[in-house]
Amino acid sequence: QTLGIAVVNNSHILISEFDTTDTSSGTMDLQTASAFTQASLSGGYSFSAFGSDSGIPFALGGIMTFDGSGNIPSSIADADFSGTPQTDLTTFTGTYSAPDANGRGTITWAGLTWAYYIVGAEVVRFVDVDTFAQGSGTLFGQGTGAGSFSNASVTGSFAMNGNGQTPSGPIAAAGEFSVDGAGNITAGTADVNAALVVTNGSVAGTYTMGSNGYGSASLTAFGGNSDVTSFGVYMVDPNINLLDPNNTSSGLGGALVVDLDTNAFGTYAAVTKASSPSFAGNYAFGVSADNSSGELDYLAMEC
C-alpha cells in the first residue's frame, strides 16, 4: 500500500491510499500514553461504526461501559441494517483483552470481534475482524459527564456531516443547526446528496438525552430530504475534539450520530461551532466519496 498524507498538525494527519490496488481514507493520531493496560479502558464510551454483515450494510452506534478489568457489563445500542432500524438494544454484554505494548487489543461484544487501537484514554479506534462482517469506527470516552447527561447537556451551535446508504445508492450530508438545551433543534440548514439527488433546506426538530448519554433526535427533515428524520445521538466528553482528538483547546464537545431511517442510514459527527468562526490560513483537506466508478478518495493542502 502507498499512502498519501496531509499534515494537520504534529499529532493529527489525514491519510489516503494512493495506489492502483484499492482506495481508502482515514487518519493517523499520536498516541498520548506511554504504557497501556486493561485499566486504560474504564467508564462510559460512546461509539459509532459503519460496515456490512454477511453482505448487508449497516450503521451502528450506542454506549458501552468498560469496568477496567476486561468486562463490558452493560451497553445500549442502535443499529440500522439496510433500512431496518433497531433501537434500545440492551441485552449485549462483552469482554475485552488487555492491550499489548502498542495499544492493540480485542473486544468481543454482540457476537462481533473487534480489534482496537488506543489513541488515548478516551479515544479508541476499532475494526471488525470477523469473517462474516466488516466495518470500523471509534469509541470516545464520556469523561466525568457519564451518568449525568440531560437535555441541557446539548446546547449551542453545531456543525454535522457524514455519509451512508439509501436504497438507490450512497448518501452524503452536511449542515449546521442550533440546540436550545430544552429539547428543541432550531435555526439550521443542510445540504444532502442522496444517490445524486441534491437538496438544500432547513434543519428543525426535537431531541431527548438520557443521563447515560444515550439519546435520539426526530427531525421534520434534514436539508430538504424527507427520508432523513430519525437519529440516535451519543454524547462524548465535552473536552474531546471528535475530529482531532489530541487538540484540547478548540472544537471541543459534540456527539456521535447515527441515521436510523428506513430509506437512509449512516454515521455522522456533530461538533460544536466557534462563536466567531474565521476561514483563513492553511488547511488540510480530505474527502472520501462515491461516483459511478466506485469509491473516490483524495487529499489536498489548501490555503
Task: Report the C-alpha gap between 268 and 172 in whole angstroms.
Answer: 10
Per-residue pLDDT of the chain (303 residues; tens, 9 = 90+): 888 888 999 999 999 888 777 778 889 999 987 789 999 999 999 999 999 999 999 999 999 999 999 999 999 999 999 999 999 999 999 999 999 999 999 999 999 999 999 999 899 999 999 999 999 999 999 998 888 999 999 999 999 999 999 999 899 999 999 999 999 998 899 999 998 899 999 999 999 999 999 999 999 989 999 999 999 999 999 999 999 999 998 889 999 999 999 999 999 999 998 777 777 888 888 877 776 666 777 777 665
Contacts with 90 (C-beta within 8 Å, 6 or more apart), sequence order: 74, 75, 76
- The rounded distance, in Å, linking the Cα atoms of 46 and 275 is 26
- CA-based torsion, 238, 242, 248, 252: positive or negative: negative
Extract the C-alpha cell encoding 87: 433501537
Q: How many residues does the chain have?
A: 303
User: What is the predicted pLDDT for the residue at 302?
Assistant: 66
**Can you tell me the distance from the alpha carbon of 192 to that of 41, in angstroms, rounded to the nearest whole number?**
36
The full 3-state SS of the chain, as one line of letters, equals: CCEEEEEEECCEEEEEECCCCCCCEEEEECCCCCCCCHHHCEEEEEEEEEEEECCEEEEEEEEEEEECCCEECEEEEEEEECCEEEEEECCCCEEECCCCCCCEEEEEECCEEEEEEEEECCEEEEEECCCCEEEEEEEEECHHHCCCCCHHHCEEEEEEEEEEEECCEEEEEEEEEEEECCCEEEEEEEEEEECCEEEEEEEEEEEEECCCCEEEEEEEEECCECCCCEEEEEECCCCCCCCCCCCCCCCCCEEEEEEECCCCEEEEEEEECCCCCCCCCCEEEEEEEEECCEEEEEEEEEC
pLDDT at 244: 94
pLDDT at 3: 85
| Spatial CA neighbour of 226 closest among 207, 208, 199 | 199
Distance from CA of residue 251 to its chain's centroid?
Answer: 15
pLDDT at 86: 96
pLDDT at 1: 85
